[in-house]
Structure 1
Amino acid sequence: MTQQTIKKNNIRVELYDWIRIIATLFVVIGHSVYLKIVVAHGGVDYQLPMNISPTYYGKILSFIREGHWILVYFHMPLFFFLSGAVLGLKPIKNLLYFIKSKIKRLIIPFFTAGFFFMLPVKFLGNFYSFNGMIHAAFTFWHGGLESDDGHLWFLAALFWCLVIFGILIKSLKKIHIENPFIPFIICFIIATLASKYSITDFMEINNGLKFIHWVAAGYVFENYRHFYKFSYIRSVIICIVFVCFHLWNRKVHFYNHYFLVIFGIIFSIALANVLSPLFKYLDANFHNGYQNFINKLFAIYLFHDPLEYLVLRIFFNRNLLSSSLGCYAYLFMRTIGVILISLLISNILDFILVQLKSRFRKTIV
């Protein structure tokens, strides 16, 4: 099954939309099982109650917890990889405009979602005390280990990845080097050095350097994607092999970092192809809703994680895990529930922005 490239105002590839959906679901699942997280100025450490329902250890909830430990190895490199692939769709014409667009797309949401949503919601979720939240707000830009920027670290790290990689691509093209493997090799060296020697944690620069080779890998993939036919049968086989490997790996415990990440990315691409009939069906029969969901994937990433702490506070403070219904409701809220609430928040914000813009135009007139 070959992938169709859709051209509108800009270049768009269906495959990358499908991978974005899968990657977003992966990151939500990855954030749906933890009970303990400690950062510089806050954290949670929930203990399972003595009267917890056996349903908590049943097949469905255990499957999600098991999946978390598999996804955690590659779900963030997958986002960097996908960003590099999308970057390869069209050349960077104006570097200054490119940097400004990434500030608008990544840095502004990093601060606005952090200060006006993540920190207050985590405070409501008992992650921060009031003083802890204030201290976290003042050190939000610092980054690094035990950072208070939470899941939003990715936005700042990706910003540095894209800016540095963009400058590298433009510099290499000036000396007529356009082979995508050259910047990949350079970025791999940068990532290796960044893993050994920390430059600065300011706004996740060091984390950005650690992941820059995955951006470069995605860029390489896009440059050679059109040479490869995405066979449906081959994709199914890859997914089966991936599942069988991890079932086997539960006993063997093979944890080579690069192997697990590369295998996870290959699996994600194959899974996107396997699920392509479903995505195409949704697009054909529920086009507006499907496209709106794709457009809201970024909002899901921004809002879902802080909501997890509200779910934890409600379910643990009210001892709701003592019943089977409570356990299933807990699973629903930590996965589908936080997605639905994130979509609701995004739609409310869109409505407010439309109203404000309308009033602003009337004021001018």
Structure 2
Amino acid sequence: MKTDMKKHIYKYDVIRIVLTVLVVIGHANYYNAGNAYGGIYIADQLSAAGIADTVFHGFVEQIKQLIYTFHMPAFFALSGTLFYGQMKSERFSSAVEVIKNKATRLIVPFVLVYLFWNTPVKIVSGYYSKSTNIWKDILMQMLIPTNMYLWYLEALFFDFVLAYLL
């Protein structure tokens, strides 16, 4: 039995905003971002040019390390809490309905952002400099999203489906 009655909990919005700001702070502090496909190595270029790191960057790096100890587990906990509320209110009547809903909300944005933002930025910036087959590497990063910020959407999709099935 589905119920259309929604109870909005504003403290969850505040938690989401704070966690989002922490993610931005953490990701904005990367000087090097590389993997087997290539990368961007700003710190290496600064060092090669004889430019020392700033005190501010070192301070923010320490904050980033702290943020990384909890921000993604906190996002998963918040998402799980909200999903539990949906399950409790019988929002979904079948696994197929969960898959359709979560694919529309998570996988479609993942694919669109990856193809039309992430990929062009990486190609233009020379990220795939070590790649012998860029399109194969792009597909592999979409299927197994390592060292990229969009991994969360795929992981959350599979977590929701698994949680429903269990």
Which interval holds the TM-score relative to the shorter structure?
0.7 to 0.9
Deviation at 1:131, TM superposition (A): 5.3
Q: Is the CA contact (8 Å cut-off) linking 1:11 and 1:89 kept in structure 2?
A: no
**2:82 is the alignment partner of 1:86:** yes
SS at match of 2:69: coil
What does the per-residue CA deviation read over 1:139-169, in whole Å, with 9 as the maximum and x for residues that have no partner?
A: 234316xx36x1111111110101110121x
Write the deviation string for residues 225-275 of structure 1: whole angstroms up to 9, x where unpaired. Answer: xxxxxxxxxxxxxxxxxxxxxxxxxxxxxxxxxxxxxxxxxxxxxxxxxxx
Find 1:23's aligned residue among 11, 19, 22.
19
- Other structure's SS at 2:152 match: helix
Deviations 1:294-339 (A, max 9, x none): xxxxxxxxxxxxxxxxxxxxxxxxxxxxxxxxxxxxxxxxxxxxxx
Secondary structure of residue in 1 paired with 2:138? helix
How many residue pairs get matched? 154
* Cα deviation code 1:160-205 (max 9, x no counterpart): 101110121xxxxxxxxxxxxxxxxxxxxxxxxxxxxxxxxxxxxx
Q: What's the offset of the Cα at 1:132?
A: 5.3
CA distance in 1, matches of 2:28, 2:154: 23
Relative to the length of structure 1, the TM-score reads 0.39
Map 1:1-365; keep pairs closer than 5 Å. Answer: 10-46=6-42, 47=44, 48=46, 49-52=49-52, 56-58=54-56, 61-90=57-86, 91=88, 92=90, 93-95=92-94, 96-129=96-129, 133-143=134-144, 147=146, 150-168=148-166
CA RMSD of aligned residues (A): 2.3
Q: CA deviation at 1:135?
A: 2.8
Please give the per-residue CA displacement for 1:66-98, whole angstroms capped at 9, x wherever unaligned: 110101111111111110111122324312222
Measured in 1, the distance between the counterparts of 2:134 and 2:16 equals 31
Identity, % of aligned pairs?
Answer: 31
- Give the Cα separation in 2 of the matches to 1:162 and 1:112: 20
For residue 30 of structure 1, report the CA deviation from its aligned partner: 1.2
Deviation at 1:128, TM superposition (A): 2.1
Asked whether the equivalents of residues 37 and 45 of structure 1 are also in contact (C-alpha less than 8 Å), the reply is yes
Bigger fraction of residues in helix: 1
Paired with 1:82 and 1:158, the residues of 2 have a C-alpha distance of 11
SS of alignment partner, residue 30 of structure 2: coil
Q: If the length of structure 2 is used for normalisation, what is the TM-score? A: 0.80
- The answer on whether the counterparts of 2:114 and 2:142 sit within 8 Å (CA) in structure 1 is no
- Give 1:126 deviation, angstroms: 2.5
Q: What is the distance in 2 between the residues matched to 1:106 and 1:163?
A: 12
Deviation at 1:52, TM superposition (A): 4.2
Instruction: Please say which structure displays the higher CA radius of gyration.
Output: 1
CA contact (8 A) 1:43 1:127 kept: yes
CA contact (8 A) 2:128 2:134 kept: yes
The 1:162–1:34 alpha-carbon spacing in structure 2 relative to 1, beyond 3 Å, is same
Deviations 1:101-137 (A, max 9, x none): 1010111111111111111112222222485532322
Aligned CA distance change for structure 1 residues 78 and 132 (closer, same or farther; 3 Å) = farther
The DSSP-based 3-state class of the residue aligned with 1:88 is helix
Q: 1:44 to 1:51 in 2, by over 3 A?
A: closer
Q: Distance in 2 between matches of 1:39 and 1:14?
A: 39
CA distance in 1: counterparts of 2:36 and 2:51, whole angstroms: 32
Gaps of 5+ in 1: 1-7, 169-365
